[in-house]
Amino acid sequence: MNRHNLSLIAVAVVLVVVSLVVGSRREGAEFAGADGQAMAAATALHPDYQPWFKPVWEPPSGEVASLLFALQAALGAGVLGYYLGFKRGQSRQRQPDRVDAGD
């Protein structure tokens, strides 16, 4: 991982932290989902609208939902990490003396 990438990741982390700090100073900040807020806005515009279809299955609790979200992220990160590690090893084998120059 070169220095350039580390600084890009650092900026992303700073953005998240600043968002969290700035956001929590807002009145009524609960960090609810924007998707949910949009559905609430839709209901506010048309109070008589009834969702006509229910989710086929819902996680029975917030814990189970967080398990599945964590699983989704872990699967994605696992595959992505496998790919990048594989390619790094491959290119290191090809040019053993050059590849780590950027690290």
Residues 6+ apart with CB under 8 A from 43: 49
Q: Please answer whether residues 42 and 49 qualify as being in contact, where contact means their C-beta atoms are separated by less than 8 angstroms.
A: yes
Query: Minimum distance from CB of 96 to another protein (Å)?
Result: 14
Cα distance between residue 25 and residue 5, in whole Å: 31
Handedness of CA 37, 40, 45, 46 (dihedral sign): positive
Query: Minimum distance from CB of 35 to another protein (Å)?
Result: 5
Q: How far is CA 21 from CA 4, 7, 32, 35, in A?
A: 26, 21, 15, 21
Using CB under 8 A, pick the residue from 48, 61, 63, 80 that binds another protein. 80
Can residue 55 be called a binding residue for another protein (CB under 8 A)? yes
Using CB under 8 A, pick the residue from 48, 52, 63, 93 that binds another protein. 52
Can residue 3 be called a binding residue for another protein (CB under 8 A)? no
Contacting residues toward another protein, per CB under 8 A: 1-2, 4-5, 8-9, 11-12, 15-16, 18-20, 22-24, 26, 28-39, 41-42, 45-46, 49, 51-59, 65, 68-70, 72-73, 75-80, 83-84, 86-88, 90-91, 102
